[in-house]
């Protein structure tokens, strides 16, 4: 796997893995992103935080090719990828765990994972072992129909399916959505492991505390603009963040 290579390159002095610059995205006349600048270094885990409607998912969808920016650039490995269709981006090493999980409800767990490796002629058994190693639950239920899994298991399956495509950069849209706190913790533990194994993560989250504990860095979006960014622990300690996203009553000037 790509783990060892990444360890040689811990800092990010060369080109970042993902770079968004001056990204402006519109839904009709509505400007959803008003010039986003953002970088994700190789091997990092980066969190995008913000309230509903801040533009987090829009950013992610623009990166994964579901939306096209009107202005600005998306670069992966320094190459422009904006305007490339989502299914093509899979070949560039981009994995996407979409919002709401979207597992193939009528396929078995194993069939779902096989679909995840669609870009290869046949799935790599090592990848399958890796996914089953990360998610033993999925191995137990590999013959079960995905639609009958619990929400947490479906989220695991969605992540596992994306990993089957050997992504270098994994985009996650609210992996904690609608899940019990205990399951959320499990999923974030696994994501941490995925990140340590060498996959770069960019995740959108409402659950700021979990996200910032996982991430190296974070960006805070508000109405389509980056209003704050920095190392995760700095953000986690910031009183404004604590007030806005962790529900603490802190006096903010």
Partner 1 sequence: MTTTETARDVSAAARLRKTSWYQEPRWQRLAALIGVAVVGAQVTGVEGNNRDIFYALKENFTSTGFAVWLAVCVGIWVVREFAQAPVGSAWQSVKESVKAPAGEVQAVWRKQFWLRVGILSGVLVFLIVLPLLVSRHWQQVLVDQIAIYVLLAIGLNVVVGWAGMLDLGFIAFFAIGAYSAAFWTGSLPVDPPMVLNNFAVIPIAVITCLVAGVLLGAPTLRLRGDYLAIVTLGFHEIVYLGAKNWQSFTGGTSGARVERFSIDLGFWSYSWGLDPRPYYWLLLGFIIVLLVLFIRLEHSRVGRAWTAIREDEVAAASNGVDTVRFKLLAFAIGASTSGIAGVIYASKLAYINSEAFIVLFSILVLSYVIFGGMGSLPGVLIGTAVLVWLPEALRDSVPAQDRYMYLGALLVIMMIYRPQGLWPSRRRQRELHMAEEGTAGADALGGTAGGKQV
**Contact residues for partner 1, defined by CB under 8 A:** 61, 64, 66, 85-88, 90-91, 96, 98-107, 114-116, 118-119, 121, 145-151, 154, 161-162, 165, 177-178
Token pair of 51, please? Answer: 């309230």
Q: Which is nearer to partner 1, 16 or 98 (CB)?
A: 98
CB 57 within 8 A of CB 217: no
| Nearest distance from C-beta of residue 156 to partner 1, angstroms | 13
Residues 204 and 62: their CA atoms lie apart, in Å, by 13
Q: Which is nearer to partner 1, 9 or 148 (CB)?
A: 148
| Nearest distance from C-beta of residue 64 to partner 1, angstroms | 7
Q: Which is nearer to partner 1, 151 or 239 (CB)?
A: 151
Q: Which is nearer to partner 1, 98 or 218 (CB)?
A: 98
Q: What is the dihedral of CA 228, 233, 237, 239, to 10 degrees?
A: 10
* Consecutive H or E run containing 80: strand 79-80
3-state helix, strand, coil in the chain (%, to 5): 40, 25, 35
Q: Which is nearer to partner 1, 15 or 114 (CB)?
A: 114
| Nearest distance from C-beta of residue 94 to partner 1, angstroms | 9
| Nearest distance from C-beta of residue 115 to partner 1, angstroms | 5
| Nearest distance from C-beta of residue 107 to partner 1, angstroms | 7
CB 166 within 8 A of CB 197: no
CA distances (Å), origin 221, targets 103, 145, 176: 28, 37, 18
For β-strands 200-205 and 169-173, DSSP reports them as parallel
| Nearest distance from C-beta of residue 248 to partner 1, angstroms | 27
Q: Which is nearer to partner 1, 142 or 240 (CB)?
A: 142
| Nearest distance from C-beta of residue 214 to partner 1, angstroms | 21
Dihedral pair phi/psi, residue 41, rounded to 5°: -80, 160
Q: Which is nearer to partner 1, 26 or 104 (CB)?
A: 104
Q: How crowded is residue 125: how many other Cβ atoms within 10 Å of its Cβ?
A: 8
Closest CA to 155 of 130, 138, 133, 132: 138
* Consecutive H or E run containing 161: helix 151-163
């Amino acid at each position: 796997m790509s783990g060892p290579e990444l360890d040689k390159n811990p800092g990010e002095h060369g080109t970042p893995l993902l770079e968004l610059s001056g990204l402006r995205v519109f839904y009709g006349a509505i400007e959803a992103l008003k010039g986003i600048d953002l970088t994700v270094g190789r091997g990092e885990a980066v969190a995008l935080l913000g309230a509903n409607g801040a533009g987090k998912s829009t950013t992610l969808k623009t990166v994964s090719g579901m939306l096209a920016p009107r202005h600005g650039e998306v670069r992966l490995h320094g190459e422009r990828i904006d305007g490339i269709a989502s299914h093509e981006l899979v070949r560039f090493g981009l994995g996407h765990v979409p919002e709401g999980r979207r597992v193939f409800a009528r396929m078995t767990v194993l069939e779902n994972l096989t679909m995840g490796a669609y870009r290869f002629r046949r799935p790599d058994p090592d990848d399958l072992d890796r996914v089953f190693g990360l998610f033993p639950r999925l191995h137990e239920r590999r013959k079960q129909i995905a639609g009958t899994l619990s929400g947490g298991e479906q989220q695991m399956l969605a992540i596992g399916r994306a990993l089957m495509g050997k992504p270098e950069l994994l985009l996650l849209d609210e992996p904690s959505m609608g899940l019990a706190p205990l399951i959320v913790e499990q999923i974030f533990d696994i994501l941490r492991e995925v990140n340590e194994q060498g996959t770069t993560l960019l995740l959108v989250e409402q659950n700021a505390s979990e996200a910032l504990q996982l991430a190296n860095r974070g960006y805070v979006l508000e109405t389509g603009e980056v209003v704050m960014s920095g190392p995760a622990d700095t953000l986690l300690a910031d009183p404004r963040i604590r007030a806005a996203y962790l529900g603490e009553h802190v006096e903010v000037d």
